[in-house]
Amino acid sequence: MKKTIFLTFLLFGFVLNSIYCQTKLNFDGKRGDKFEALNGSIDSLTNNGSTKIILSGKTKYTDYKIFSHKRDTSYIDTTLTLKKEYKFNYLRTDNFELLPFHNQGQTFNNLAYSFNNLNNLPDIGFTAKQFSYLDIDEIKYYEVPTPTTEISYRTGLQQGQFVDALFTLNFSRRLNVSVSYKGLRSLGAYRQSLASNGNFRGTFQYRTKENQYQIRGHLTSQDFFNEESGGLTTAALESFISEDPDFDKRARLDVNLTDSENQFDSNRIYLEQSFKLLSNKDTITKKDFSNLKIGHIFINESKNYNFTQKSATSAIFGEVTATDANKNDAESKITSNEVHLEFNSKYVLGKFKAKVNYTNYSYGYDTILNSKNIVKKLKLAGSAISIGADWNAKIKNFQLNADASLTPGSGRLSGTYLKGEAIYEKDSLFAVKGSLLINSKSANFNTLLHQSSYDAYNWQNDFSNVNTRDLGFTFHSKWINAALNFTNIDNYTYFDENNTPRQFENQITYLKVKANREFKYWKLALENTVMYQNVTSGSSVFRVPEFVTRNTFYYTDYWFKGKPMLVNIGVTFKYFTKYKANAYNPLLAEFTLQNDEEIGFPTFDVFINAQVRRTRLYLKVDNVTSGFTEKNYFSAPNYPYRDLTIRFGLVWNWFI
C-alpha cells in the first residue's frame, strides 16, 4: 500500500514538473549554493488553466524553507560538500558514532552513546530495529514558493536499491503540504541478510492571515523487515578468517539461522495547534512584541514487533515450549494530549509556556506464547498526568532555553525531565553552548515484560526508574569544533551475557570528548574528527572503544570550461580501538553483553562525487583494502563487516 502511495505522488510530481516547466531556478556559478533571482512575478492563471502561486519580487534560495520540530529554520541545500558525503547513506545522517552491519537496512552497533536528547517517556524497546526510525523531532515541515521535489537514490548490495523521495508545495503562502517516502530493499552478500524497509511521511502546516490560528501535523507509517542469520557458524567463521578461496562468494558461508525474520512496524499521528488570545503590536514594525496563546498537541503512536521462525533453533536460543498462539506481536500504544498556555514577550520574559499533559499507554501481548510461562500479566497499561513549563529567551548575545516536566505518582510513566541550554554567539567568529539534562523514567517496556516460545525469553520485571544526568559543552568556530559530554546513569538497564535484562547496581560514569578540524591548501583539504571516551565506573556493562578517528583527504575543483561541474575526490580513513563490542540477538532485536571477542579495525573508503547544477552524483568504494588485509573486520561477534563494495547514487532537486 505504501509503495503504491509513493509511486502515485512521484507520478504527480512529474506531472507538475511538466505543467510548471516555464519556471527555472539556476545556481550562482561562482559558489554553486544560491539560486539566481527571478525578475517580476508569475501569472496566477496560465493559458492552459493551471494555477500557479503568485510571486512578488525575486525568488531566491532562502525562500525554500525547512522547519524543524522546534521551528528552527534552514534552507533546501543543493551544494556539494564533504558533509554531504558523510550523510550519503541509508540513515541520511553522519553515522560517525555507529558501526554498520554489512548490508544497508540492517542494524548498527554503537561506537558511542548520546544522552543529551532523551525522551521523557519510556519506549517499547527492541532498539536494534529503531536506528532508522523517524521520531517526532526528525520530521521536517516546508514552505516553498514553487513545487519542490528531491530524489535521493543509492544502489543496494547484490540486489535492490534505496530511494528517498520528497514532494512539497504551497497551495498558498500560508498552507504547505509535503509527502515523502524512504524505501529500501537490499539482498546482502551473506545468507539470510535481506532488508526491506519503508518510511512514509506526510506533513502539513497552515496559518491564518494575521497568524492568529496556526496548525501543523504529520502522519507516519514505518516498517522494517529483516531476514536474520544469527551470524556465521563456527566453521564458517574459520573459513572467513583463514580466507578460504572456496568462500570468496559470501553466500556460500553457513549461518546459524536459516528461516528466521523479524518485523517492526509503527504508525503515528501528530497534531499541534495554537490560537492567539491577545496581542500587542509594535507601532513601527507592525509585528507582535507580546502575545498570549492557547495551544494543544495530540499524539497517537503505535509500535509492534515480532520474531518468527518456521522451525525452532534450540541450539541457539534454548528449549521451546510453544502454545498454539497464532500471533506473537509485542505491541505498544501511547496516546498523549497536551494543553498549554504560552506568553511571548519580546522585551521582557521571552517565550514562556505552561503545559499540562495527559498520557495513556498500553504494552503487551494478546495471548500466552509459552505454556511454561512465568509471566502473570499479558499487558502493562496505565495513564498519568504531567505538568511542566518551557522558557526561551534571547538576551543580547545569549540564547537561553529550558524545558521541564514532572509526572508525579508511582506508575510506570512517573518521572522527571529537565533540560537547560545557554548559548553564546560572538558574531560569526564562534559559538559556545552549555547544556544540562536531568531525566528519570521507566526502563523500556520490553525489559519489563517479554514473551516467547523459547523458555529463556520470558520475564516480568519491576525495575526502578533509570536516572540520567548529562552535562555538555560544545564550541564551534572557523578554527575548530569541539564537544564534551559528562554523563552519570543510575539503574542502567542492559541485557547480560544470558540475554536477560538487568539493572546495574552501581553508577555509570561516562566521558565523551570529540574534536573536529579541517586544514585546507590550494584545492586540497584534510578533515579530521577524533573522539576520546572513558568509562570510569561501570565499564563491565557499559562498553565503548577508547578512541575513534576519521580522517578524510580530498581534492575539490571545478572541471570543464565554464565550470559546469564541481568534483570532490578523496579517501576516508576510519579506525576505532579494540573493545568488547556487544553481541546482536535477532530474537530480542537488542544488543547484549559478551566477554569472548574484541572488535577494532581500520577501513579505507574512496569516493568520487560531482555536482552538475542541482544534481549531486556519488560513487563510493567501501573498505578498499579488504582484499589484501587480515580478515578481522566485524560489526559484532559472528557478523563480518562488508568487503570491498562499490556504490553509486545521486541526489536530484527540482524547483518547478
Q: How many angstroms separate the CA atoms of 20 and 42, rounded?
A: 11
Q: In this structure, which amino acid lies at residue 15?
A: V
Residue 24, pLDDT above cutoff 90: no
SS3 of residue 23 by DSSP = coil
Average pLDDT over residues 384-395: 94
- 246 CB burial (10 A radius; 0-12, 13-18, 19+): exposed
Q: How many angstroms separate the CA atoms of 182 and 202, rounded?
A: 12
Task: Name, in order, each residue with C-beta under 8 angstroms of 88's C-beta and a sequence gap of 6 or more.
Answer: 152, 154, 618, 620, 649, 651
How would residue 561 be classed by pLDDT, with cut points 50, 70 and 90?
confident
Q: What share of the chain is helix, strand, coil (3-state, %, to 5)?
A: 10, 50, 40
Half-sphere exposure of 37 (CA within 13 A, CB side): 5
- Beta strand residue intervals within 4-107, DSSP E: 65-67, 73-75, 98-100
216: cell is 501543523
Contact 393, 379 (CB under 8 A): no
Which pLDDT score is estimated for 409?
85
DSSP 628: T
Torsion of CA 113, 118, 124, 130, to 10 degrees: -50
Phi, psi for 456 (deg, rounded to 5) = -75, -5
For residue 174, the surrounding DSSP H or E stretch is none
Average pLDDT over residues 60-80: 91
523: cell is 584545492
Q: Which of 622, 617, 521, 530 is nearest to 565 (CA)?
A: 617
What is the residue whose three cell numbers read 524553507?
65
Residue 385, pLDDT above cutoff 60: yes
How would residue 85 be classed by pLDDT, with cut points 50, 70 and 90?
very high
326: cell is 497464532
For residue range 38-55, what is the model confidence (pLDDT) as tens digits?
222 222 222 333 333 444
Other residues' Cβ atoms within 10 Å of the Cβ of residue 22: 10
Percent of the chain at pLDDT > 90 equals 78
Contact 250, 232 (CB under 8 A): no
Residue 317, pLDDT above cutoff 50: yes
Average pLDDT over residues 362-377: 90
Contact 529, 549 (CB under 8 A): yes
How would residue 8 be classed by pLDDT, with cut points 50, 70 and 90?
very low
CA 555 from chain center: how many Å?
29
Q: In this structure, which amino acid lies at residue 252?
A: R
For residue range 322-365, what is the model confidence (pLDDT) as tens digits?
998 888 999 999 999 999 999 998 767 889 999 999 999 999 99
Q: In this structure, which amino acid lies at residue 537?
A: S
For residue range 240-255, what is the model confidence (pLDDT) as tens digits?
999 999 999 999 999 9
Q: How many angstroms separate the CA atoms of 653 and 151, rounded?
A: 7
Which pLDDT score is estimated for 285?
62
DSSP string, 289-325: EEEEEEEEEEEEEEEEEEEEESS--HHHH--B-B-S-
Q: How many angstroms separate the CA atoms of 234 and 597, rounded?
A: 13
Which pLDDT score is estimated for 58?
66
DSSP 211: S
For residue range 206-223, what is the model confidence (pLDDT) as tens digits?
999 888 999 999 999 999
CA 592 from chain center: how many Å?
22
Q: In this structure, which amino acid lies at residue 507?
A: Q
What is the residue whose three cell numbers read 529483516?
226
How would residue 284 be classed by pLDDT, with cut points 50, 70 and 90?
low
Phi, psi for 4 (deg, rounded to 5) = -65, -45
For residue range 455-488, what is the model confidence (pLDDT) as tens digits?
999 999 999 999 999 999 999 998 999 999 999 9
For residue 7, the surrounding DSSP H or E stretch is helix 2-19
Percent of the chain at pLDDT > 70 equals 90
Listed range (275-289, 401-415, 416-430, 489-503) with the worst mean pLDDT: 275-289
Task: Name, in order, each residue with C-beta under 8 angstroms of 106's C-beta and a sequence gap of 6 or more.
Answer: 100, 188, 193, 195, 226
For residue range 124-169, what is the model confidence (pLDDT) as tens digits?
999 999 999 999 999 999 999 999 999 999 998 888 899 999 999 9
636: cell is 559484532
Average pLDDT, the chain: 89
Which pLDDT score is estimated for 6?
47
For residue 554, the surrounding DSSP H or E stretch is strand 547-559
Q: Which residue has the higher pLDDT, 285 or 542?
A: 542
443: cell is 526502563
Q: Which of 451, 491, 465, 460 is nearest to 588 (CA)?
A: 451
- Which residues make beta-bridge pairs with 404? 389, 418
Helices of type H across 311-443:
314-317
Structural domains of the chain ordered from first start: 2-655 (2.40.170.20)
DSSP string, 79-136: ---HHHHHH-SSSSS--TTEEE-SSTTS-EEES----TT--SS-----GGG-TT---G
Task: Name, in order, each residue with C-beta under 8 angstroms of 476's C-beta and a sequence gap of 6 or more.
Answer: 430, 431, 432
Q: Which of 99, 98, 94, 104 is nearest to 647 (CA)?
A: 104
Contact 148, 653 (CB under 8 A): yes
pTM of the model: 0.89
Compute the radius of gyration of the chain from its Cα atoms. 26
